């Protein structure tokens, strides 16, 4: 019986050490196995913003980036807000864009397993290079008010 109790305690202590991983950076938070590297909370935006650095990893890192955006008010000529995510991987500079359309029912017009208000992508960012986010309006002189939210999760980090 003592051997069984010892084995159980040994297994529990080893597994708790393995599962109790420290956060990936001083600014990240660990939730179970997921580490939140960055959160963006920008409600009531009335102007686009040039690409800004969200983070710059010390090691090559695989991230999942989730966006949610919605237009809350727009002039008649406005068509959409475009959010651009920029990074560098082994193939060189990369960019993806997420368009937030200006229509009253745009969230229900997405493709299978998605909606037009949200978007999720996976990116691998090389060490020492930034992950950046910026927005623009179409047309560029449009009057638009929008909310933009994003979360960057660490999925994998090079040793």
- The verdict on pTM exceeding 0.75 is no
Question: Which residue segments constitute the domains of the chain, with CATH numbers given?
Answer: 24-157 (2.60.120)
DSSP state string for 65-124: EEEEEEEEEE-TT--EEEEEEEEEETTEEEEEEEEEE-STTGGGG--TT--TTEEEEEEE
Residue 96's pLDDT is: 94
Give the pLDDT confidence score for residue 129 in this predicted structure. 98
What does DSSP assign to residue 129? -
In angstroms, how far is CA 78 from the centroid of its own chain?
Answer: 26
The pLDDT value given to residue 139: 94
Identify the pLDDT of residue 115. Answer: 57
Task: Enumerate residue ranges in the chain where pLDDT < 50.
Answer: 1-26, 110-114
Res 34: pLDDT: 72
pLDDT for residue 43: 95
Q: What is the pLDDT of residues 38-80, one digit of tens each?
A: 999 999 999 999 999 999 999 999 999 999 998 889 999 999 8
């Amino acid at each position: 019986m003592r051997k069984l109790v010892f084995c159980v305690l040994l297994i529990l202590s080893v597994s708790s050490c393995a599962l109790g991983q420290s956060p990936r950076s001083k600014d990240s938070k660990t939730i179970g196995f997921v580490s939140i590297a960055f959160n963006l909370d920008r409600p009531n935006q009335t102007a686009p913003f040039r690409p800004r650095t969200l983070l710059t990893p010390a090691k090559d890192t695989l991230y999942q980036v989730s966006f949610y955006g919605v237009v809350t008010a727009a002039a008649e000529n406005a068509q959409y807000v475009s959010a651009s995510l920029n990074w560098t991987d082994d193939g060189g500079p990369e960019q993806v864009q997420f368009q937030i359309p200006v229509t009253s029912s745009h969230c229900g017009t997405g493709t299978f397993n998605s909606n037009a208000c949200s978007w999720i992508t996976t990116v691998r960012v090389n060490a020492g290079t930034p992950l950046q986010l910026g927005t623009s309006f179409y047309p560029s002189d449009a009057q638009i008010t929008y909310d933009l939210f994003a979360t960057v999760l660490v999925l994998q980090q090079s040793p």
